[in-house]
Structure 1
Amino acid sequence: MNISAITNQMEEGLTTSVFPGAVLLVSHQNKIVFHKGFGQRRIKTKEKQTSVDLQTIFDLASLTKPLVTTAAIAQLLQQNRLCLHDPLQKFLPDFFGKEKSQVTIFHLLNHSSGLPAWQPYYQKVQAQEKKTPGFLGTLSAKQAIFKMAHAETLKAHPGEISRYSDIGFILLGEVVEKICGMPLNTYFSKYIVSAFKQSESFFPQRPENPQNINNTDSRHFAATEDSKWRKGVISGIVHDDNAYAMGGIAGHAGLFATAHGVYQLVQTWLDSIKDKGFLSPEIAEKFVSRQKDVMSPAGASWALGWDSPSVLSGRGSPKVSSSGHHFAPSSFGHLGFTGTSIWVDRTHELVVIFLSNRVHPSRENERIRSFRPKLHNLIFETLIHA
């Protein structure tokens, strides 16, 4: 097993400016075989020590979707507090309009609701902040964004096409809060990570003055973007603008963790499949499996809240999954905008947690698109085809 090849690939990511800092954790046959930090948490800073280590905390961005919101929905399904084919209107009656009564929990999890991918809701919150200082990041701001999401017009018939949607998961986060009567972060800490003696996954507390992003303790946080409207380099506060406007707690983004913290959460899903986790094997299997349901658009790679390797992405195919060419079709995973990813190949008992801050100092850096498949190919070839 040539672990040095994996180290060399990660170091190449640094020298070619794919990311300023990263942690890679690889598990094979339920044993961590690689866990190492690379590069810097923050560049162009007066801090003396900014090296990434195993305690470095990353903004997970959209990994929040499977690790928090999807996990919560799966638990509520297990408790018979909702059904996958319940209409969203059952929980959010203000979500009404042409064909919107047909949108179900399944559609939102499967990214087949017909909702838009994204909207800059934060801009309206930002405008209100100028009129009412202190509005940004409050419960009122969060409710305002929910209201905007309720009013969205569908761009396609429910179940017709697959379109990845942040808005769908903003609404799923609201569903969890409505059913449980508590904020999403409270639910997460009480029912998802409570089994861990020491959790390395959490939603950071919003600073007293959300406009001053430099008043947060930045120790061990990997910095993200140098933001003009947020007046500096973001560190320890959610990068996603809509989640930030909502106070840092949302169904689509907001979770922070170390690589090991992510591994703990992924392991709960794998344990559940083996009837040793927080879900029944049947429900866990349903959520991590690519959907062949008639309500899932043909050719879509989405499971429920989780993704699977892109259809037709195997060896020799011009289409490349972010997991590379080798991961089995039964694999599941997810990506995060800040430069984070999870890929799990159950067939080969391989887990790859790759956390980086590729958006530091600018989101314009997209070199990770070509780097990530190469990294996963190398890991697979090193461990499985060795």
Structure 2
Amino acid sequence: MLKYLFILFGLFVTTLIAQEDKKQPLALPVGSSLQISSLAAYELDSVAIYHKIDSIITNGIKNNAFPGAQIMVAKEGNIIFHKAYGYHTYDSVQPVALNDIYDLASVTKIMGPLPALMKLVDEGKLDLDTPFSSYWTPWKHKKDKRNITLREILAHQAGLEPYIVFLNETLKNNGRFKNRFLRSKPNKRFKNEVFEGIYVKNNFNKKMYRIINRSTVSAEKKYKYSGLTFLIFPELIAQLTGIPYEQYIEEEFYKPLGMKTFGFLPSTHNFSNKIVPTEMDTLFRHRLTQGWVHDENASLLGGISGNAGLFGTANDLAIMMQMFLQKGIYAGKRYISEKTMNEFIRVQYPQNDNRRGLGFDKPLIDNNLLPLEESYPAPEVSPESFGHSGFTGTFVWADPKNQLVYIFLSNRVYPTRANRNLYDLHIRSAVQQVFYKAFQKRL
């Protein structure tokens, strides 16, 4: 009975908010910072939207797609929806809060190395069509890699291997650590903390680079997702800028953008925000992973990588996605040129049935003709839209044509990465579709 009273109270509050916010301003000047608004300010049926979203997410929690989730939507620079659902874990102890920090997994790729690479392209320090071996010199001696361009790499058109499990290099057959690579206590040669009480050899990154350099390349040039070079990009960025990768992106982007809790190694900071746990790791760490990067390859780089490792809140993500949507400008400051932004968010190899931009994911080819169950993301997104997903259950998307930013955060890997109902139930696309249909109905 109490549960239903809470639901009725929530609907009552939503209706009051809708009535109060109808007079709020709408579109903001180009390049503005995000503002708080409401569904009602856009003459949307807030009660119907909340009901539909609540139903989708409640069904997800019921079917163990995730123990909790968070959704944020911004229209024309106005945050019109931001709500948290469920709990950090299935024991229902810690409710999800709007300022919770999440392990972003592969969303790191477009939030960390990608803006840095775009800035370096703007500055003429990188060229998309110059062989990558001109910058990453070990590839000059690799016949199958010497002519691969940065454009091909970022569009996942280079034929590189999708993933290498570097963890296998550090474990014995019985699962115990190889002492030459991992230690339980730090010393001069083992300074990088992989996890609480686990330290990796300082130069293990060089071993990873050597393995990547020796990895095979497919002779066939077609779409094949690979995150390998995102393990290399931080070192390349440091070489080209003379500044450590994590310091460079913090000083050039996160701090001036006002991203309060965004970055690597959140457990080493004294944030008041709760950090959402990821997996109950039975392979490597043998305990709950929380506040430390879930991805094993990123963890072996000390938690600072280009493929994974970033943590942040929905607000922080929305800021960066709004900057991308506004073609490189935010709060009156330009971070990336419009020309470069337009190039990176453009489909690069449509003739090869490759939907990808440069680093950014894009909708499936002819996505608008597909039903929700076959589309990626929602069928209603524009071809100009772009974003990225993360293995832990995260998703960010920006649509310049419709001026929409969509953030979906969850820890679908809790308690195990075997949980796939987030995908099987098409939850992220279904939630996204609700907002597109609401705006279409208004027209």
- Structure 1 outlier segments of 4+, above 6 Å: none
CA shift for structure 1 position 260: 0.8
Match of 1:168 in 2: 229
CA shift for structure 1 position 174: 2.7
Give the conservation status (yes or no) of the 8 Å contact 1:240–1:253.
yes
Change (3 A) 1:226 1:90: same
**Count of aligned pairs:** 371
Q: Which amino acid aligns with 2:49?
A: I
How do residues 283-302 of structure 1 correspond to structure 2 at under 5 angstroms? 283-292=340-349, 298-302=352-356
Pick the aligned partner of 1:315 from 350, 369, 381: 369
Distance 1:113 1:218 in 2: 43
Q: Which amino acid aligns with 2:289?
A: I
Match of 1:29 in 2: 76
Q: Point out where structure 1 has 5 or more consecutive residues left out of the alignment.
A: 208-215
Aligned-pair Cα RMSD in Å: 2.4
More displaced stretch, 1-10 vs 12-21: 1-10
Q: Which amino acid aligns with 1:380?
A: Y
Match of 1:196 in 2: 257
TM-score, normalization: structure 1? 0.89
Q: Is 2:418 the counterpart of 1:373?
A: no
Change (3 A) 1:206 1:222: closer
Give the conservation status (yes or no) of the 8 Å contact 1:58–1:355.
yes
Q: Is 2:65 the counterpart of 1:18?
A: yes
How do residues 233-244 of structure 1 correspond to structure 2 at under 5 angstroms? 233-244=288-299
Q: Which amino acid aligns with 1:188?
A: I
Give the conservation status (yes or no) of the 8 Å contact 1:112–1:161.
yes
Match of 2:9 in 1: none
Q: Is 2:400 the counterpart of 1:346?
A: yes
Pick the aligned partner of 1:131 from 180, 187, 196: 180
Give the conservation status (yes or no) of the 8 Å contact 2:266–2:291.
no
Distance 2:319 2:401 in 1: 19
Match of 1:69 in 2: 113
Change (3 A) 1:103 1:366: same
TM-score, normalization: structure 2? 0.78
More displaced stretch, 197-206 vs 142-151: 197-206
Q: Which amino acid aligns with 2:415?
A: P
Q: Is 2:152 the counterpart of 1:107?
A: yes
CA shift for structure 1 position 206: 7.3
Give the conservation status (yes or no) of the 8 Å contact 1:326–1:377.
yes
Change (3 A) 1:257 1:149: same
Q: Which amino acid aligns with 2:108?
A: T
Match of 1:253 in 2: 308
- What are the superposed Cα offsets for residues 308-361 of structure 1, whole Å, 9 maximum, x if unpaired? 101122234587333111111111111101000112222111111001100011
Give the conservation status (yes or no) of the 8 Å contact 2:71–2:82.
yes
Change (3 A) 1:383 1:19: farther
Match of 1:98 in 2: 143
CA shift for structure 1 position 219: 5.8
Q: Is 2:52 the counterpart of 1:8?
A: no
Pick the aligned partner of 2:438 from 379, 382, 385: 382
- Higher relative contact order, structure no. (Cα contacts within 8 Å, ≥ 6 residues apart): 1
More displaced stretch, 353-362 vs 296-305: 296-305
Give the conservation status (yes or no) of the 8 Å contact 2:279–2:416.
yes
More displaced stretch, 89-98 vs 99-108: 89-98
Give the conservation status (yes or no) of the 8 Å contact 1:40–1:51.
yes
Change (3 A) 1:44 1:233: farther
Distance 1:138 1:378 in 2: 48
Give the conservation status (yes or no) of the 8 Å contact 2:325–2:398.
no
Q: Which amino acid aligns with 1:269?
A: F
Distance 2:267 2:97 in 1: 24
Pick the aligned partner of 2:274 from 220, 224, 249: 220
Q: Point out where structure 2 has 5 or more consecutive residues left out of the alignment.
A: 1-44, 191-198
Q: Which amino acid aligns with 2:119?
A: Q
Give the conservation status (yes or no) of the 8 Å contact 1:348–1:384.
no
CA shift for structure 1 position 198: 4.8
CA shift for structure 1 position 377: 1.7
Change (3 A) 1:269 1:124: same
CA shift for structure 1 position 89: 1.4
Change (3 A) 1:126 1:182: farther
Larger radius of gyration: 2
Match of 1:38 in 2: 85
Distance 1:111 1:73 in 2: 16
CA shift for structure 1 position 246: 0.9
Match of 2:42 in 1: none
Change (3 A) 1:60 1:29: same
More displaced stretch, 300-309 vs 177-186: 177-186
Identity among equivalent pairs (%): 27
Change (3 A) 1:217 1:140: farther
